[in-house]
């Protein structure tokens, strides 16, 4: 089986790492996904647009998963070095 659960775990871990290291000043603000852009919905607009949900997801990943990701990455690197 080429694509097993181990490979799926690696892909998910790499994607979460990629989102966690995105720089708000250098990248996210340039494409309009910075957290500081307080665009309030005007009359008749929904408050939960897809863009606002993506901004909230990126912010949540960067704040909540930063410390656990360090430990998970150390475990994965150790596993790959020892049992690789």
Q: What is the DSSP letter of 3?
A: S
Query: What residues contact residue 6 under an 8 Å CB cut-off, 6+ apart?
Result: none
Number of domains in the chain: 1
Q: Evaluate whether residue 39 is within a structural domain.
A: no
Q: Whole domain around residue 30: which residue ranges? A: 5-34+47-83
Q: Can you give the pLDDT at residue 45?
A: 62
- Least Cα distance to 21 among 81, 61, 48 occurs for 61
Q: Evaluate whether residue 11 is within a structural domain.
A: yes
| pLDDT tops 70 at residue 39 | no
Q: Can you give the pLDDT at residue 32?
A: 72
Question: Which tokens go with 8?
Answer: 């799926």
Task: Note if the pTM is more than 0.85.
Answer: no
Average pLDDT over residues 21-49: 69
Report the first-to-last Cα separation within the chain, whole angstroms.
18
Q: Evaluate whether residue 41 is within a structural domain.
A: no
Q: Evaluate whether residue 22 is within a structural domain.
A: yes
Q: Can you give the pLDDT at residue 44?
A: 61
Q: Evaluate whether residue 51 is within a structural domain.
A: yes
Q: Can you give the pLDDT at residue 13?
A: 93
| pLDDT tops 90 at residue 75 | yes
């Amino acid at each position: 089986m080429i694509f097993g659960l181990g490979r799926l775990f690696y892909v998910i871990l790499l994607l979460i790492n990629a989102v966690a290291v995105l720089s708000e000043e250098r990248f996210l603000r340039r494409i309009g996904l910075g957290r500081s852009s307080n665009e309030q919905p005007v009359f008749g607009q929904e408050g939960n647009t897809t863009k606002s949900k993506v901004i909230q997801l990126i912010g949540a990943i960067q704040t909540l998963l930063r410390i656990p990701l360090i430990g998970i990455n150390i475990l994965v690197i150790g596993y790959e070095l020892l049992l690789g």
